[in-house]
């Protein structure tokens, strides 16, 4: 009899219909740095609400993930796989541009 392998849970579990809306550079301040840093902001829409995940590259070997909206308060260990899962690949069509005003 073969053992069933436990299926690895998806980082998107608990989110209803998540989709990336926009990826843009964004200025951000952190408690760890007195300077304004540049981060990648991935805007995400779900049927449960909207939010964003920021990838802040502190140094070449150190990155932080921050959440906003529905992702506010999520731990680093959950933000990173969601960000990586929803990050557009080169073969996907470009994301929608943000409309301001």
pLDDT in tens, 33-54: 788 888 999 999 999 999 999 9
Contact 78, 13 (CB under 8 A): no
Give the number of other Cβ atoms within 10 Å of residue 26's Cβ. 16
In whole angstroms, what is the distance from residue 51 CA to residue 48 CA? 10
- For 77-94, write each residue's pLDDT tens digit: 999 999 999 998 866 555
Residue boundaries of the structural domains of the chain: 19-86
- Residues contacting 74, CB < 8 A, separation 6+: 67, 82
**pTM of the predicted protein model:** 0.77
């Amino acid at each position: 009899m073969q053992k069933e392998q436990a299926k690895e849970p998806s980082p998107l579990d608990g989110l209803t219909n998540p989709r990336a809306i926009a990826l843009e550079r964004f200025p951000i301040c952190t408690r760890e740095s007195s300077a304004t840093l540049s981060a990648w902001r991935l805007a995400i829409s779900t049927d449960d609400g909207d939010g964003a995940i920021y990838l802040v590259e502190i140094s070449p070997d150190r990155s932080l993930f921050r959440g906003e909206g529905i992702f506010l308060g999520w731990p680093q260990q959950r933000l990173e796989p969601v960000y990586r899962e929803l990050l557009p690949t080169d073969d996907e069509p470009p994301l929608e541009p943000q409309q301001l005003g």
